[in-house]
Amino acid sequence: MTTAAILTAAGSGSRLGHALPKALVPVLGEPVVVHAARRLLAARPGGAPLAALVVSAPADHVDAFRALLGPDVVVVPGGPTRQASVAASLAALPDDGIDVVLVHDAARPFAPADLIERVAAAVRAGHDAVVPGLAVTDTIKRVGAGDDGWPVEATVARGELRAVQTPQGFARATLERAHAAAEQDAGDESVAASDDAGLVERLGLPVWVVPGDERAAKITTPRDLAVAVLLATDTKDL
């Protein structure tokens, strides 16, 4: 099996409070997207480098992304939602020879190679949809609607919960089928899926969870960016 990767990097990152799109925000002198792409390209899923890497970029920053990432990385304009951006990237993959597709968020720039390889290995072992997940440590309450706070409806058992990360891995045919089935929702933020495993779940197909990694933390807020700097310092040899 041959593995390719899609890197979603078209988000504005408005919650980060930065003038640049999130993927172009520098961490230790290099943009977030460069860190994320480097770790994907350093991984060896199935013992071999990625066959292809496609990156979705904000439409008005495509040339800047291409200059940053070099000629061996395909850059496509992203869509109005994450789902649409992944669909555009999926369409840009080479037609033949790729069986496994990893979908990763540039907002998780320090996912280590062993996590990337672990997800791909689970797909190769026969699981058509694979996500990495971390055990939930907080107590989680399901709440109802309220104007001044929210009434608790139930306490959810933590042992049944996982906080899902990326990269997520898929048999290519399954991912293409899932996106085709949800194509009508891709441009609407209110109904578009927040991750690709959710699209597979809509088809009624199983999704397998493998252990995640704290280094694959997501950058959303200024605090997250400060944590990313620490992670970058700890993994600067990658």
Q: In sequence order, what E strands does 32-99 have?
A: 53-57, 74-77
Are 167 and 103 in contact, with CB atoms under 8 Å apart? yes
| Lookup result for tokens 């109904």 | 191
Q: What is the pLDDT, as a whole number, of residue 190?
A: 67
Query: Would you state the structure tokens that stand for residue 228, as one six-digit string?
Result: 């990313």
144: in domain: no
Q: Considering only CA atoms, which of 223, 237, 234, 220 is closest in space to residue 32?
A: 220
Instruction: Residue 193: count other Cβ atoms within 10 Å of its Cβ.
Output: 20
How much is the pLDDT for 238?
Answer: 46
Specify the residue for token string 């496609």: 54
143 lies in some domain: no
Residue 75 amino acid letter: V
Enclosing H/E stretch for 153: strand 152-156
**Residue 150 falls inside a structural domain:** no
- Give, rounded to a whole angstrom, the gap between the first and last alpha carbons of the chain: 25
Structural domain contains residue 175: yes
CB atoms within 10 A of CB 113: 15
Q: How many domains does the chain have?
A: 1
d(CA 14, CA 220): 9
107 inside domain: yes
CATH of the domain at 11: 3.90.550.10
Task: Let me know if residue 138 belongs to a domain.
Answer: no
Give the mean pLDDT per block of 10 residues along the chain (238 residues): 96 84 94 97 96 97 98 96 95 95 97 97 98 96 92 95 98 97 78 90 97 95 90 65
| Residue 203 resides in a domain | yes
| Closest to 43 in 3D by CA, of 129, 139, 135, 113 | 113
The range of the structural domain enclosing residue 187 comes to 3-133+163-235
pLDDT at position 235, please? 61
| Amino acid (one-letter) located at 13 | G
Give Cα 142 distance to the centre of its chain. 26
The pTM is what? 0.94
Q: Is residue 83 part of a domain?
A: yes
Which pLDDT does position 169 carry in this prediction?
98
Q: Which two tokens stand for residue 230?
A: 């620490």
